Each structure stands twice: as C-alpha cells, then as structure tokens.
Amino acid sequence: MERWFERRRKNRVLDIAYRQMTLALDTVNDLERAIKAIFSGDRESAKITIDRLFLVEEEIDNLRRAVFEELSRGSLSSRDREDIMHLVKRLDVMADFVKDSARSIMILLDHDIPEEVWKVFLEMAVGVVRCAATLKESLKALSENPSEARNLSMKVEEEENKVDKQYLNIKSMLLKYGGKVNPAALMILKDLAEYMENAADSCADVGDYIRVLTVPG
C-alpha cells in the first residue's frame, strides 16, 4: 500500500511539474508573437499578447508552489525530490527572463524604434522559440526514452549557440543606431536583448541537467 501511494504521489507531482514546465516554455511563444505584432505595426495586439503572458506567468508561479507543496508530502526519495526541484526552479528562472523581456517590450511600445531593429529582435525571438521547443520535446521524452531526451538536450545547446550569435548581432545593430534612437529606449533595447539571451541560456542549463539525469548507469 505504501509503494502504491508513493507511485500515485510521484505521478501527481510529475503531472503538476510538467504542466508548470510546459507553461514556462510556452511563454516564449507569446514573446515571439508580441514582437511579430510590433514588427507588423499592430501594437494593440502586442499589448494584448503581453497581458496574456503576464497572466500565464501568475499561473506558473502557482504551479511551482503546488509542486513544492506536493514534494513536502508523502515519501518520495530525496533524489526524486531534488531532480524535480532542479527542473522546476531552472525553468522558473527562464520564465522570469521571458517576463522581464515582456516588460521591456511594454515600455518600448511608446517609443519609435526603427523597423530594422525590431526585425533582428524578431529573428532572435524565433531562435529562442526553437530552443524552448526542443527543450520541451526533451523533457517529454525524459521518462519514456532517456536516450532520445539526451540527444534532444544536445540540440538545445546547438539552438542556444545560434541565439548567442543573434545576441551579438543585435549589440552591433544597437551601436549602429546609437545616434538615431532615444538613449533611454536604447538602454531598454539592450536589456531586452540580454533578457532574451538569458532565457535561451536558462533553456540550455535545463538541457545540461537532463544530460546529467540520463547518464547511463
């Protein structure tokens, strides 16, 4: 009976944790949609998308607390608790960087930013989406196909490296437009690029931990 209860408790924790991690990764899609809307000149849609992202972020926080509450109950092994907490915490950090990115975009909505600048940010957002989507597939495979999860986690690293190159490209772009953009807006753009790059870095961190979990015993 105790083993049966432990399995049920573990499945419940994993269900909540996977929901939290999935939502965290999905916020990246809304970030891309918001930048795409701005690039298309539809600032109202961008605002609506960001508002939705903030609501999802609240749900992510609630789920994280629910995971930790569940982990404090029952008789899960310390290793199981540690693994779940690592994944949840690291993806929560990623979601925080996405939220910070969204806040920067909200501020920039009231400023005149050249289309060419938004274009490179959109390209970077697409890269972060690819990074998050690959990580999502790796997490999905973690319990059923550790080998596939490990292979996908290495692809997360490859996608993150591409985002790093886009980040450097944006920094060069901001230097180019230094005299054409309001200095305060330029600082927010710099922050936005750093938050997005950090979001991709956080995905890579989770990928690193997945590789630790899938090392052949």
Confidence of residue 14 (pLDDT cuts 50, 70, 90): confident
Residue 6: band (very low, low, confident or very high) from pLDDT cuts 50, 70, 90: low
5 band by pLDDT with thresholds 50, 70 and 90: very low
Q: What is the mean pLDDT of residues 97-120?
A: 94
For residue 75, name the pLDDT band (cuts at 50, 70, 90): low
Strand runs (DSSP E) across the chain, as ranges? none
The yes-or-no verdict on residue 9 having pLDDT over 60 is no
Residue 143 pLDDT > 80: no
2-213, CATH topology level: Methane Monooxygenase Hydroxylase; Chain G, domain 1 (1.20.58)
> What radius of gyration, in Å, describes the C-alpha atoms of the chain?
19
Q: Which amino acid is at 194?
A: E
Q: What are the domain boundaries of the chain?
A: 2-213
> 169 vs 34, 114, 166, 197, CA distance in Å?
21, 16, 5, 12
Band (pLDDT 50/70/90 cuts) for residue 1 is very low
* 4, pLDDT greater than 50: no
